[in-house]
């Protein structure tokens, strides 16, 4: 019995460590990503009846600096994005309009990643959209 409890505790601790390392466990509000933070930190949406997803993502500067969005690209040909407002500060958001053609998604949960290049860092920020597909 004690051995089973020890194994279960080990599995739980490893699971928590993996979730924390992957960034899935976080505090409320936008998360920092190389000088910028996204609101929401990860977008979770349902595909609409026609198979599409559309949303606006807000991006803020971490430290009050003026930062310009330079480009946004999706991780698949099904994803597109356009910068609606390129300049951001810590209290004023830049805005990105994302569109995903999710008609071909077969899994119930799918992730599309967007690479966001900006003047605040040489490294791009990454943003995830989780698309839920109901049968």
> Over the stretch 94-115, which tens digit does the pLDDT of each residue have?
999 999 999 999 999 999 999 9
Q: What pLDDT does 121 receive?
A: 86
- Comparing CA positions, the residue from 41, 33, 31, 23 lying closest to residue 120 is 33
* Range 28-132 classified under CATH 2.60.40.10: yes
**Higher pLDDT, residue 65 or 54:** 54
- Confidence bin at 1 (pLDDT 50/70/90): low
Q: What pLDDT does 18 receive?
A: 45
**Higher pLDDT, residue 1 or 51:** 51
Query: What is the pTM assigned to this prediction?
Result: 0.73
Cβ of 81: how many Cβ atoms within 10 Å? 22
CA angle, residues 103, 108, 110, in degrees to nearest 5: 70
């Amino acid at each position: 019995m004690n051995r089973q409890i020890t194994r279960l505790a080990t599995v739980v601790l490893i699971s928590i460590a993996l979730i924390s390392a992957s960034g899935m466990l976080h505090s409320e509000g936008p998360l920092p990503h190389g000088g910028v933070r996204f609101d929401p930190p990860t977008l979770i949406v349902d595909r609409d009846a026609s198979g599409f997803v559309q949303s606006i993502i807000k991006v803020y500067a971490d430290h009050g600096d003026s930062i310009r969005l330079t480009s946004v690209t999706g991780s698949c040909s099904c994803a597109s994005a356009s910068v609606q407002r390129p300049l951001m500060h810590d209290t004023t958001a830049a805005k990105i309009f994302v569109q995903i053609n999710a008609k071909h998604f077969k899994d119930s949960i799918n992730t599309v990643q967007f690479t966001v290049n900006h003047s605040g860092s040489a490294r791009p920020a990454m943003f995830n959209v989780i698309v839920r597909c109901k049968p």
